[in-house]
């Protein structure tokens, strides 16, 4: 059972931001993460439901490269436009939880909750997502990589709301999202890789990889990206670059039991994505 | 407290709800619609599934106040004109009901699927019920029932 | 030709229509006028002595009707299918994590759960044995010792070794506690009729056994206890033991009002009987052509704290030991 709390549903962004600056609040969008969290709590909290704020909602056609924080995972997965322009994001959102979760859970909520296993975050990262935050006193924009600080921790201040997420589309890239789960649905990603790759003949032109669920915060595999982008395709080079990434993951995280299976699988996933078929 | 106005199985309902009550609690405890079940309370089993604006959601993870100005359907909607819908008939015919606890949720997901413009294949059916657990049937009969009504 | 009426024919379940319409009543769907709600307060320690129970804070919750401890049990505070060795409510000490200590009854579920959370129990931890092997040697927790039963099964020339084997495979295997995970958690409603008869409607796989247990619990004749199976959302063996029925009965007995007890999934998983975890030492010898020459198996099963059909809580204290 949920503890007793008050919930306000502001009808304008101004109303919402005033509430956030005047009170100790928690923002609720879909609520699929928050309501579970609240079940274990006893403290009274003021919830501010942001789903009816018109300034936070628009159609993809009207603002093509700007993701509304109120887009549900289901909406992103089903939008022809987003599937076309940002296939890695649409694919990732289509895997979240279950249909019922996808019909309520939002991208804004996914970012704000900042779970290490959040599915929308790796694709947003490879599309160089920038997050706009607004409060009643200021507006600011941060790269998603900077916004996420630690597992379940972001730079979002108590009086701020995610207003939009801007991402950059890429033409002629191979784009996708792979994740490791213990079952096909209602499963958290144990490991995930979002990728966009531009190739021409025997050369990698541009490689971008984001890895989720291996570290407290999703990471761009920059050492791998730099090592491969522009280079002739070579298996030794690839393997070396992968090892750099593995080393970095290990250095970021103290001994993690799950790494015993995650890291070998990550190696194979990256080889599969970048080399294709048999690599041995 | 919120006064909400919403469509429930085609009828207009106006009611005061406390802020912290879930849609599941509203339906079961205040409106006596006990076809909506609680199986886990954390959005993992699907027994609490209802349709919100035609889309399946977990009512145990939805605050009641969120359905203001929206359209809620429970399994009662399928037979609201006094006769069984096709989807209910095929569930009976295909042996897709054993203990019956998952049945309302499964029926609603199937109903929602049939009403989309999606092309229906066995994989699409499996995805449509992927958020609903059944501990009795092993799912085969439920999938066969939905294939039956989709005529594939 | 009665016997041919069913064979080979598709027959509809008698309640399938209600199930697809959604109007069949599972125990948790039953509403009765004046119905109040019971919540079991459970131990959050595996094996302590109960030093003190403080319910002052609980009584501050408006709507609290009654708190029932083992002292308020009119009859036998023990149930179980094979042996009556499980208390409904703990008497002075706790044998497993989640063991019920008392029952809180209040006007509605929210008040009952709030009051239940406010019960303060002072524990003194005792040393625990959670491994069946240790329990064989350890302090007896049950009458007759910790060894429930031991069976030997021997066939063939048991004093010949593995000399005839071309291949020997030896491993130690472990299986786990399994929860039945029926989709509908345990639930029951009870009420008292004019003549004092107590009726219990619950999610259950059996009724006669539970009628006997409740009669013994309340020290009432069986003719005054009626148990009815509500539409039940799965059982798979996990609703054969007494689950909520005893608590519903106690609630009704003491308040004379209709009482509902229903478990959340967490309560269900914490309290429900489980399949025994087994520790299996398995040594097989075979010839090259696959013919088995000798098999030697030793299985130790963890029955948990109490017996029931298979065992009580998740902390194993009394083992079951079989050798082959």
Same structural domain, B54 and B95: no
Q: How many domains does the structure of chain C reveal?
A: 1
Q: Would you state the pLDDT for residue C3?
A: 57
- Asked whether residue C303 is assigned to any structural domain, the reply reads yes
Buried b / exposed e over A46-72, threshold 16 CB at 10 Å, is bbbbbbbbeebeeebeeeeeebbbbbb
ipTM of the complex: 0.97
Q: Which residue, B49, B75, B101, sits at the end of a domain?
A: B75
Q: Would you state the pLDDT for residue C184?
A: 98
Same structural domain, B6 and B61: yes
Element (H, E) at C190: strand C187-192
Domain range enclosing B100: 79-150
Mapping DSSP onto H, E and C, the string for B98-139 reads: CCCCCHHHHHHHHHHHHCCCCCCCHHHHHHHCCCCCCCCCCC
Residues of C in contact with A1 (CB under 8 A): 109-110, 113
Residues of chain B numbered 26-85 and touching chain A (CB < 8 Å): 41-44, 46, 49, 52, 55-58, 61-63, 65-66, 68
Residue among B21, B27, B39 with most chain C CBs within 10 A, to mutate:
B39
Same structural domain, B32 and B83: no
Buried b / exposed e over A174-183, threshold 16 CB at 10 Å, is ebbbbbbbee
- Asked whether residue C139 is assigned to any structural domain, the reply reads yes
- Asked whether residue C86 is assigned to any structural domain, the reply reads no
CATH architecture, domain A174-275: 2-Layer Sandwich (3.30)
- Asked whether residue C155 is assigned to any structural domain, the reply reads yes
- Asked whether residue C22 is assigned to any structural domain, the reply reads no
- Asked whether residue C317 is assigned to any structural domain, the reply reads yes
Q: What is the pLDDT of residues A199-251, one digit of tens each?
A: 999 999 999 999 999 999 999 999 999 999 999 999 999 999 999 999 999 99
- Asked whether residue C157 is assigned to any structural domain, the reply reads yes
Same structural domain, B65 and B84: no
- CATH number assigned to the domain comprising residue B103: 1.10.150.120
Q: How many domains does the structure of chain B reveal?
A: 2
Same structural domain, B11 and B34: yes
Same structural domain, B63 and B89: no
Residue C128 has pLDDT above 90, yes or no: no
Residues of A in contact with B44 (CB under 8 A): 186
Can you list the residues of chain B whose pLDDT is less than 50? none
C137 pLDDT band, cuts 50/70/90, is confident
Same structural domain, B45 and B70: yes
Q: Would you state the pLDDT for residue C309?
A: 43
Domain range enclosing C312: 132-179+273-323
Q: How far apart are CA A88 and CA A196, in angstroms?
A: 8
Same structural domain, B70 and B91: no
Least Cα distance to A267 among A224, A230, A227 occurs for A224
Least Cα distance to C74 among C215, C190, C193 occurs for C215
Element (H, E) at A197: strand A191-200
Least Cα distance to B57 among C264, C53, A105 occurs for A105
Same structural domain, B64 and B88: no
- Asked whether residue C307 is assigned to any structural domain, the reply reads yes
Q: What is the pLDDT of residues A108-150, one digit of tens each?
A: 999 999 999 999 999 999 999 999 999 999 999 999 999 999 9
Maximum separation of any 2 CA atoms in chain A, in Å: 62
For the beta sheet containing C292-302, the strands, ordered from the edge strand earlier in sequence to the opposite edge, are C150-152, C319-323, C292-302, C278-286, C167-174
Least Cα distance to A32 among A109, A124, A117, A89 occurs for A109
Same structural domain, B97 and B68: no
Q: Which residue, B58, B75, B92, sits at the end of a domain?
A: B75
**Composition of chain C by helix, strand, coil, percent to 5:** 20, 30, 50
Q: Which chains touch B (3 or more CB pairs under 8 A)?
A: A, C
Q: Closest partner residue to B43 among A4, A100, A185, by Cβ?
A: A100
């Amino acid at each position: 059972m949920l503890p007793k709390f008050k919930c306000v549903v502001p009808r304008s962004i101004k109303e919402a931001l005033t509430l956030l600056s005047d009170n100790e609040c928690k923002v609720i969008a879909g609520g699929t993460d928050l309501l579970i969290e609240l079940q274990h709590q006893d403290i009274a909290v003021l919830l501010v439901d942001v789903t009816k704020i018109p300034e936070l909602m628009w159609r993809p056609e009207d603002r093509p490269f700007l993701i509304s924080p109120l887009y549900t995972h289901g909406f992103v997965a089903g939008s022809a436009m987003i599937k076309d322009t940002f296939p890695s994001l649409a694919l990732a959102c289509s895997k979240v939880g279950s249909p019922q979760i996808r019909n309520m859970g939002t991208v804004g909520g996914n970012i704000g909750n900042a779970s290490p296993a959040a599915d929308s975050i790796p694709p947003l990262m490879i599309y160089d997502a920038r997050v706009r935050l607004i409060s009643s006193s200021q507006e600011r924009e941060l790269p998603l990589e900077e916004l996420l600080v630690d597992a379940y921790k972001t730079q979002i201040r108590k009086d701020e709301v995610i207003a939009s997420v801007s991402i950059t589309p890429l033409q002629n890239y191979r784009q996708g999202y792979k994740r490791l789960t213990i079952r096909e649905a209602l499963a958290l990603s144990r490991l995930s890789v979002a990728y966009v790759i531009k190739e021409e003949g025997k050369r990698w032109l541009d490689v971008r990889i984001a890895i989720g669920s291996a570290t407290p915060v999703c990471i761009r595999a920059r050492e791998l990206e730099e090592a491969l982008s522009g280079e002739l395709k070579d298996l030794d080079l690839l393997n070396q670059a992968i090892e750099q990434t593995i080393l970095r993951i290990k250095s970021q995280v103290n001994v993690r039991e799950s790494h015993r299976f995650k890291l070998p699988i990550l190696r194979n996933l990256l080889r599969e994505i970048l080399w294709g078929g048999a690599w041995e | 407290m919120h006064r909400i106005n919403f469509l429930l199985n085609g009828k207009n309902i106006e009611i005061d709800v406390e802020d912290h009550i879930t849609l599941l609690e509203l339906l079961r405890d205040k409106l006596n619609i006990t076809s909506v079940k609680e199986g886990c309370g954390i959005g993992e089993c699907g027994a609490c599934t209802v349709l919100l604006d035609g889309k399946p959601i977990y009512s145990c993870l939805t605050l009641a106040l969120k359905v203001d100005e929206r359209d809620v359907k429970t399994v009662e909607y399928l037979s609201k004109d006094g006769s069984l819908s096709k989807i209910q008939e095929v569930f009976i015919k295909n042996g897709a009901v054993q203990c019956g606890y998952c049945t309302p949720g499964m029926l609603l997901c199937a109903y929602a699927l049939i009403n989309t413009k999606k092309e229906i294949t066995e994989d699409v059916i499996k995805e449509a019920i992927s958020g609903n657990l059944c501990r009795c049937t092993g799912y085969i009969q439920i999938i066969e029932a939905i294939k039956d009504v989709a005529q594939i | 030709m009665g016997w041919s009426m069913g064979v080979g024919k598709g027959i509809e379940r008698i309640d399938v229509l209600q199930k697809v319409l959604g109007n069949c009543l599972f125990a948790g769907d039953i509403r009765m006028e004046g119905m109040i709600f019971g919540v079991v307060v459970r131990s959050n320690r595996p094996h302590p002595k109960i030093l003190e129970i403080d319910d002052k804070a609980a009584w501050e919750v408006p709507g609290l009707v009654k708190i029932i401890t083992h002292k308020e049990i009119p009859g036998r505070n023990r149930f179980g299918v094979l042996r009556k060795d499980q208390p409904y409510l703990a008497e002075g000490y706790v044998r497993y994590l989640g063991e019920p200590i008392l029952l809180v009854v209040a006007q509605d579920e929210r008040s009952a759960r709030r009051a239940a959370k406010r019960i303060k129990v002072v524990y003194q931890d005792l040393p625990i044995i959670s491994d069946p092997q240790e329990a064989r040697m350890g302090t007896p927790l049950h009458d007759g010792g910790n060894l429930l039963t031991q069976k030997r099964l021997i066939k063939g020339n048991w004093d010949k070794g593995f000399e005839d084997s071309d291949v020997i495979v030896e491993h130690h295997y472990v299986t786990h506690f399994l929860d039945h995970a029926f989709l509908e958690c345990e639930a029951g409603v009870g009420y008292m009729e004019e003549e004092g008869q107590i009726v219990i409607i619950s999610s259950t796989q059996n009724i006669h056994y539970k009628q006997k247990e409740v009669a013994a619990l309340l020290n009432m004749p069986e003719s005054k206890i009626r148990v009815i199976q509500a539409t039940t959302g799965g059982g798979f063996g996990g609703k054969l033991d007494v689950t909520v029925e005893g608590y519903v009965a106690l609630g009704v007995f003491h308040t004379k009002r209709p009482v509902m007890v229903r478990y959340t999934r967490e309560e269900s998983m914490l309290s429900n009987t489980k399949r025994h975890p087994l520790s299996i030492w398995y040594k097989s010898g075979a010839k090259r052509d696959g013919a088995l020459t000798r098999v030697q198996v030793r299985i130790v099963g963890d029955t948990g704290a109490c017996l029931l059909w298979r065992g009580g809580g998740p902390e194993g204290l009394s083992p079951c030991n079989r050798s082959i």
